[in-house]
Amino acid sequence: MRGHQRPTFTERLLRPSPNSVAMASLAAGIGGLALAMGTLFTYLGVLIAVPAILTGIIAALMGHLGLSRAARTGAGHRLAIAGFVLGYVAIGIALTTAPFWFGAFLFSGSGFA
């Protein structure tokens, strides 16, 4: 008995290739979530909310594209789901915190905040 053997050339060719769209969706989702978390803790949350929303939209779209590609190829299903979930979470956080910071910025000089 030889133990662990290396896969043959044909086995490596038949292995599903990584789903690059799903990987890009996960990366965009992590970036969008980081930007959205920045809207929670900084006074310039209105300015950070726009890139967070755009990055979240990109992550969600690429996640759905990666999910359809994963259905065809069988690779990257969990990456695509994680990417579009993080994208939607980033959009939600940015859209709920941006009005608060916009109001705080708008009324900061009038004594309301």
Instruction: Count up the domains in the chain and report the number.
Output: 1
Domain that holds residue 69: 53-106
Q: Average pLDDT, whole number, for the chain?
A: 84
- pTM attached to this predicted model: 0.76
Considering the domain boundaries, does residue 85 fall inside one? yes
Would you say residue 99 lies in a domain? yes
User: Would 48 be classed as within a structural domain?
Assistant: no
Angle among Cα 49, 106, 46 to the nearest 5 degrees reads 5
Give the residue, 74 or 60, on which the prediction is more confident.
60
pLDDT bin (cut points 50, 70, 90) of residue 109 is low
In a domain, 47, yes or no: no
> If we measure between CA atoms, which residue out of 90, 80, 22, 21 comes closest to residue 55?
90
